[in-house]
Chain A
Amino acid sequence: MRDVAQSWESLLARLFVDAELRARFKRDPACVGREFGLDERALAALTNADWTGLDLAARSYAHKQAQRAPGKLRSLWPW
């Protein structure tokens, strides 16, 4: 049985890598949040979510992924 903190991480991981889910999430965060098992308190927190940061983070991650040579770790995450 997962808790809400784990549900949050699952949702965040998907939001970072899935542009379609991200777009749907921004249109209807409560609906997507429920799909991931968030409770009402967590859903309420979505109203103040950092959309700009989410977009920029996802863009940055995608850029880094694109820079990585297939099958190689040499340019692995610089952070």
Chain B
Amino acid sequence: MAAAADLRHRVGIGWRPELAAGIFAHLDRIDVVEVIADNYFKAPRRELDALRALAEQVPVQLHGVGLGLASAFAVDSARIDKIARLIERVRPAGWSEHLAFVRADGVEIGHLAMPPRTERTVEQTVRNVERARAITGVMPALENIATLFDPPMSTLSESEWTRRIVHACGAPMLLDLHNSYANAVNAGRDAMADLGEFPLEAVRSIHLSGGMWISHANGTRRLLDDHVHSPPDIVFELLRAFAGRATAACDVVLERDGNYPSFSVMLAELDRARAALTPIDTGVRRYA
């Protein structure tokens, strides 16, 4: 096992059409690009060719948003087939999906929702992930989601639920630090303490993003993970804390979905992530 200081993490950004020019102009400062897979399921050939060309220039991670792997229902194989075809076409460095359900009984939520965290959803989620791996030939990285709503009937903490699924599948984890932070503060917990409860040894990729506080009519405020704000300081602090405990190299991806700042601002955020991943030199060397 490599020492944390010796790991060569990659830092990159989520692909969005609005950011394309900036990404291509700064590939020397972008180690990895994450692409929303679902946007390409019905894409014409020229767009798929362009994505493949991008993947030949920089490592691409495909990121699914619509499978609904974390559910008491079996995942639809036809939806996995779409991911499988895209993987075959693009040959990405890897792919990921969320620990969320997105539909039930024909009702499309149009969003990622957390199911009740129970042994039952652990079991079916593991079956769903195994099916996804079997069809695509690649185990997906599994991402923790943000939730404004604590699912009733939950008997497991989010970190324990995640740990059981990740370990049972032998899957890598995609740790979204702002999702983890938002869930912690919304529940009145300490985000740094929460971080240590996730299966950090399985983390192979990380998301950085931001959000905003929203208010209910009853005066209650909660933090919404919205991807249209820059990552707050705490996200970089969590990244630094993670880096000190990392056991494998990770892809760290900045997610931004709107209200785009200048690309120089986003490059500065990537630099800040790199700095957080670099252990402070204390003069003491650790060896594997």
The chain A residues found within 8 Å of chain B, CB to CB, are 3, 5-6, 8-10, 12-14, 16-17, 42, 45-46, 48-50, 52-57, 59-61, 64-65, 68, 73-79
The chain B residues found within 8 Å of chain A, CB to CB, are 17, 36, 38-39, 65-66, 71-73, 98, 100-101, 103-105, 107-113, 115-116, 118, 120-121, 124, 145-153, 179, 186, 209, 214, 216-218, 220, 222, 224-228, 255, 257-258
| Residue on A nearest B228 in the bound complex, by CB | A78
Q: B231 CB to closest chain A CB, in angstroms? A: 13
- Chain A residues near B150: list those with CB within 8 A: 50, 53
A73 to B112, alpha carbons, bound, how many Å?
A: 15
Checking B111, B121, B179 against A61 with a beta-carbon cut-off of 8 angstroms, the contacting residue is: B111
A12 to B38, alpha carbons, bound, how many Å?
A: 24
Given contacts A6-B104, A9-B73, A10-B104, contact A57 B149 (CB under 8 A): yes
- Chain A residues near B36: list those with CB within 8 A: 73, 76
A55 to B217, alpha carbons, bound, how many Å?
A: 10
Q: A interface, by DSSP: helix, strand, loop or mixed?
A: helix
Q: B interface, by DSSP: helix, strand, loop or mixed?
A: loop
| Residue on B nearest A16 in the bound complex, by CB | B109
Contact B39 A74 (CB under 8 A): yes
A33 to B152, alpha carbons, bound, how many Å?
A: 12
Contact A60 B224 (CB under 8 A): yes
| Residue on A nearest B143 in the bound complex, by CB | A79
| Residue on A nearest B42 in the bound complex, by CB | A73
Checking B38, B115, B226, B255 against A76 with a beta-carbon cut-off of 8 angstroms, the contacting residue is: B38
Contact A52 B153 (CB under 8 A): no
Contact B257 A49 (CB under 8 A): no
| Residue on A nearest B257 in the bound complex, by CB | A78
Q: B125 CB to closest chain A CB, in angstroms? A: 11
Contact A55 B110 (CB under 8 A): no
- Chain A residues near B71: list those with CB within 8 A: 9
- Chain A residues near B113: list those with CB within 8 A: 12-13, 16, 57
| Residue on A nearest B219 in the bound complex, by CB | A52
Contact B216 A8 (CB under 8 A): no
Contact B216 A52 (CB under 8 A): yes
- Chain A residues near B118: list those with CB within 8 A: 5
Q: A74 CB to closest chain B CB, in angstroms? A: 6
A57 to B226, alpha carbons, bound, how many Å?
A: 12
| Residue on A nearest B100 in the bound complex, by CB | A79
Given contacts A52-B218, A76-B36, A76-B65, contact A12 B151 (CB under 8 A): yes
A50 to B146, alpha carbons, bound, how many Å?
A: 15
Given contacts A50-B150, A56-B222, contact A6 B111 (CB under 8 A): no
Given contacts A57-B113, A64-B111, contact A6 B149 (CB under 8 A): no
Contact B153 A10 (CB under 8 A): no
